[in-house]
Amino acid sequence: MNKKELTIRKDIINAALILERKKLNQGKAGNISVRWDGGLLITPSGIAYDKLKPEDIVFVDKNKKYHGKWKPSSETPFHFDILKNKKDMDVVIHTHAPYGTGFSILGKPIPCFHYMIAFFGGDTVPCAKFALPGSQELSDNAVKALKKNKACLLANHGVIVTGSDLEEALFLAEELEVLCQQITIAKMNGAPKLVGSKDMKKIIEAVKTYGKQ
């Protein structure tokens, strides 16, 4: 592998460890992929994050054939299809984060209880319909849910976030979990109110230039 690929492999492992440290994933849960050479580099199936080495990261080529000593994540189908359909996104992170996954069990989109919802591409975070883990049906459902959004829930399963790079994807993964926690607290104390649609439209436009000069 060349120096650039080695760096990406190391960055994937570092990102996986960050997710674990922040309690967004644990042990062998979840997976991460980064676009590479017409295909993607992805975490392997069934190996704990703290055991990963650069050579353990699996390359899946444009024909969906994998290369390496381990099998790629069982969720490779939706990673592959999401990157294929979202040309502006180069990273996919899937987590089983507690609060986000808790919301996924409701099987409903998350509406704009908080203005930070705008960072995910719209005024809601959609929820993809349930399908068996690793199935093409699940991949199709996820691609549909992410058509206009950077993140979605997977019903009774977990969370997917996408990003232009690992930094953005990690930010969105953590931010979505924080929002789900905040909304849970609000629901425990009463009936949360939504941000108005006119205000959300303005906020959605404003975040498009957030952090840019």
- Tens of pLDDT along 154-183? 999 999 999 999 999 999 999 999 999 999
pLDDT for 26 equals 85
- At residue 211, does pLDDT exceed 90? no
- At residue 213, does pLDDT exceed 90? no
Residues forming a β-bridge with 159? 95, 153
Would residue 75 show up in a list of annotated catalytic residues for this protein? yes
- Tens of pLDDT along 7-18? 999 999 999 999
What is the rounded CA–CA span in Å between residue 77 and residue 84?
Answer: 11
Tokens 């690929």 sit at which residue? 5
Residues 55, 44 contacting (CB under 8 angstroms): no
* Closest to 93 (Cα-Cα) out of 104, 105, 78, 112: 78
* Domain-wise residue ranges, the chain: 3-207
Q: What is the SS3 assignment for 141-197?
A: HHHHHCCCCCEEEECCCEEEEEECCHHHHHHHHHHHHHHHHHHHHHHHHCCCCCCCH
The model's confidence at residue 188, banded by pLDDT at 50, 70 and 90, is: very high
For the domain covering 3-207, report its CATH number. 3.40.225.10
pLDDT for 84 equals 97
Q: What is the pTM of this model?
A: 0.95
Q: Give the active site residue among 5, 20, 75, 168.
A: 75
* Closest to 56 (Cα-Cα) out of 39, 42, 74: 42
Residue 176 tokens read as: 């979505």
Residue 62 tokens read as: 């444009």
What is the rounded CA–CA span in Å between residue 154 and residue 152?
Answer: 7
